Amino acid sequence: MMSCDRMENDGMRYIDGEMTPAQAAEFEKHLAGCETCRRSIAELGRVDSLAGRMRIGDPMDVFWEGYWKSIYKRGERRTAWILIVAGAAATALFGIFEIGRNFGPVTFVKVAAAVLAAGFALLLVSVVRERVHQKKTDKYRDIIR
Ligand SMILES: [Zn+2]
């Protein structure tokens, strides 16, 4: 009959299936007649499967998936914003260029277009600066959340 000391040492090997069939049979024979070792093996098995789950990482997988999805979504929105503002600014600048090419008397429309273009340019700079700032602080916000 195996001693309980050996049982404790071999518990993990038994659970991990690292024993030879003969060793496992001997181990199970002891378990059948020893309540203490049955309990400790049950406990070891529980801890082992818990550790296994954590290693495989079900909850962590979900966490990282959500993490990358949210990063991606934010990146998409950020890019969309920049494209919209850049497009608007380019349109306004093109208007200014057209006016400059066919330079005639200064009209209200030309001044308005120039003001509009300046506004878009300013907005573009502001948005880009804000996005760059957000990018810098993003990783800290995600950790806190
Ligand atoms: Zn025992």
Mean pLDDT of 101-127: 76
What are the pLDDT digits (tens) for 51-89? 665 555 555 566 666 766 776 677 777 788 888 888 887
Q: Domain limits of the chain?
A: 4-56, 58-144
Mean pLDDT score across all residues of the chain: 75
Report which of residues 41 and 63 the model is more confident about: 41
Q: Is the pLDDT of residue 141 over 60?
A: no
> From residue 52, how far is each of 6, 44, 49, 62 by CA, in Å?
24, 12, 5, 16
Q: Is the pLDDT of residue 145 over 70?
A: no
Q: Which fold has domain 4-56?
A: Arc Repressor Mutant, subunit A (1.10.10)
Residues less than 5 Å from ion ligand 1, measured at CB: 4, 7, 34, 37
- In the block, which residue shows the tokens 């024993």? 19
CA–centroid distance, residue 2 to ligand 1 (Å): 8
